[in-house]
Amino acid sequence: MSNIVKKENYLEIVDIIKSARERAYSKVNEELILMYRQIGR
């Protein structure tokens, strides 16, 4: 039973990391778009 709990905790942590990574990529892309818009002016 404890292995199942540990696996669930592990999977939850993996989901948190994936979500944070996706938000980070999104923010970087947003900043790149703003930079290119500024360069294009």
Q: Decide: helix, strand or coil at residue 17.
A: helix
Answer yes or no: pTM beyond 0.75: no
pLDDT digits (tens, 9 = 90+) for 7-26: 889 999 999 999 999 999 99
* Domain count of the fold of the chain: 1
User: What pLDDT score was predicted for residue 4?
Assistant: 75
Q: Is the pLDDT of residue 38 over 90?
A: yes
pLDDT value, residue 5: 73
Phi, psi (degrees; rounded to nearest 5) at 10:
-60, -45
Task: Inform me whether the pLDDT recorded for 1 exceeds 60.
Answer: no
Task: Look at residues 23, 2, 5 and name the one whose alpha carbon lies nearest to residue 13.
Answer: 5
Q: Which domain holds residue 13?
A: 1-41
